[in-house]
Structure 1
């Protein structure tokens, strides 16, 4: 198992944000983490790369507890692609991608990117070779996210962590990015807010509601109309995508969304 979370709990200050969460990602598997805003998705993701330490439970990368690993070793095993944002320091695309080599460099080596075959290969994979000398801030949102994916590729970590990677992207850029991630074939844990994108590009989903995992399994089983109504507060109809044949969700406002207890959710779904 590439990633395994067991009974993980997270606090921000003294307030518990996430409680008793179990989650796993196998080699080559694309797993989505979905839930309403404020449900704890990003907080849970941050425990994987040690930006937050859980107050309970265990986070394991390739069988090893992350608390027993150095930050460098964690970075060798998991690479993060965060939400689209313009960096405080305006590096070139090549310099940003070269930062992915950091966990593998010695104390007196610097990640400049010039002549590094792995950086060049990563740029080619995301089709940004011709933009390697441009400043990151001059790229479109979709191009910036592709540059961050290239940095993760140069990092050569077997697990990809994506935190709302399609945030602020237009439809074309969002689909292009997720197609790229799917084609990489790496173990992936992706936080998404768009349920249709999650259903289309993830093998399995975990639903986080009020800080707890309330359902997990294939998207068509997990995203039932009952669960979507209770967790997200909208009515949902299952349709068949006319092109892919996959699940397509149609939404409409739902007045007076159910406040069903967490234990009542996900009946008949893998937990």
Structure 2
């Protein structure tokens, strides 16, 4: 499934946060958004998955006009993993993941054997089978994020948006989550802070600065010392990381 977000413009109050940004994610492509805090990455994603209303622009998932389609129908095709997922009520891990089946059910429809099988598979994909009877609120931040990912996988989306899902997690959970998503072999659009993670997992990058696309291309084309300095106001050198065989970064002031 391909995603096209065209000429997106978003205002909060009188301030224009996103200015005529267009994004393309081809079928099964992993595309990243990078840029400093406040540049508009998360605001853009929220408008794409209908959490914010843009004042202009079009979002298409194949031939589905996302902004004009009901949330339930969109949720049958599009899954979202966000940065913060705290809840005010407690459920078991299994119950949390079962919520991912909601978009595919009629009102008050009970869980079927197929739903239980899909949830078990989602728990297995995220290494959570041993956690399924645990209280969600008892888990660590990284464990909670894996549960949210499992819930999203249980939606069986054809496309996934990652809205800075690893920002507050340690390196182990970052790798677990991004590797799991990559292995789903679906289209992904992700806002990422860690440049090495972006270089390793993304096929294509959009660098965002002051609400506009500053640069776009492969990680090797975008993640140059000049672009990193322009985005983050910090000097760096790039090198080939001997562990990942991808780009590494050494920073200075």
TM-score by length of 1: 0.89
Q: CA shift at 1:2, angstroms?
A: 1.6
Tell me the SS of whatever aligns to 1:96. helix
Could you report, residue by residue, the CA deviation over 1:63-98 in whole angstroms, capped at 9, with x for unpaired residues?
Answer: 222122111011111101111443222221111111
CA distance in 1, matches of 2:112, 2:249: 45
Q: 1:55-94 maps to which residues of 2 (within 5 A)?
A: 55-94=55-94
Contact kept? 2:236, 2:251, Cα under 8 Å: yes
| Most deviating of 53-62 and 230-239 | 53-62
Gaps of 5+ in 2: none
Q: Structure 1 pair 84/114, CA: closer, same or farther in 2 (3 Å)?
A: farther
Contact kept? 1:17, 1:211, Cα under 8 Å: yes
Q: 1:208-227 maps to which residues of 2 (within 5 A)?
A: 208-227=208-227
Q: 1:35-50 maps to which residues of 2 (within 5 A)?
A: 35-50=35-50
Q: CA shift at 1:13, angstroms?
A: 2.1
Indicate the residue corresponding to 2:148 in structure 1. Answer: 148
Q: CA shift at 1:243, angstroms?
A: 2.1
Tell me the SS of whatever aligns to 2:76. helix
Gaps of 5+ in 1: 254-271
- What stretches of structure 1 move > 3 A for 4+ residues in a row? 110-115
Contact kept? 1:95, 1:111, Cα under 8 Å: no
Q: CA shift at 1:207, angstroms?
A: 0.7
Indicate the residue corresponding to 1:199 in structure 2. Answer: 199
Indicate the residue corresponding to 1:239 in structure 2. Answer: 239
CA distance in 2, matches of 1:236, 1:220: 14
Count of residue correspondences: 253
CA distance in 2, matches of 1:166, 1:11: 26
Contact kept? 1:34, 1:192, Cα under 8 Å: yes
Contact kept? 1:66, 1:74, Cα under 8 Å: yes
Tell me the SS of whatever aligns to 2:143. helix
CA distance in 1, matches of 2:65, 2:134: 39
Indicate the residue corresponding to 1:256 in structure 2. Answer: none
Q: CA shift at 1:113, angstroms?
A: 9.3
Tell me the SS of whatever aligns to 1:174. helix
The reply to whether residue 31 of structure 1 matches residue 31 of structure 2 is: yes
Q: CA shift at 1:115, angstroms?
A: 6.6
Tell me the SS of whatever aligns to 2:32. strand
Q: Structure 1 pair 62/68, CA: closer, same or farther in 2 (3 Å)?
A: same
Q: 1:170-181 maps to which residues of 2 (within 5 A)?
A: 170-181=170-181
CA distance in 2, matches of 1:83, 1:132: 22
**RMSD value, Cα:** 1.7
Tell me the SS of whatever aligns to 2:214. strand
Indicate the residue corresponding to 2:119 in structure 1. Answer: 119
Contact kept? 1:35, 1:208, Cα under 8 Å: yes
Indicate the residue corresponding to 1:106 in structure 2. Answer: 106
Could you report, residue by residue, the CA deviation over 1:93-139 in whole angstroms, capped at 9, with x for unpaired residues?
Answer: 11111111111001121569997111111111111111111111211
CA distance in 1, matches of 2:115, 2:24: 37
Q: CA shift at 1:51, angstroms?
A: 0.9
Tell me the SS of whatever aligns to 2:72. helix
Q: Structure 1 pair 161/24, CA: closer, same or farther in 2 (3 Å)?
A: same
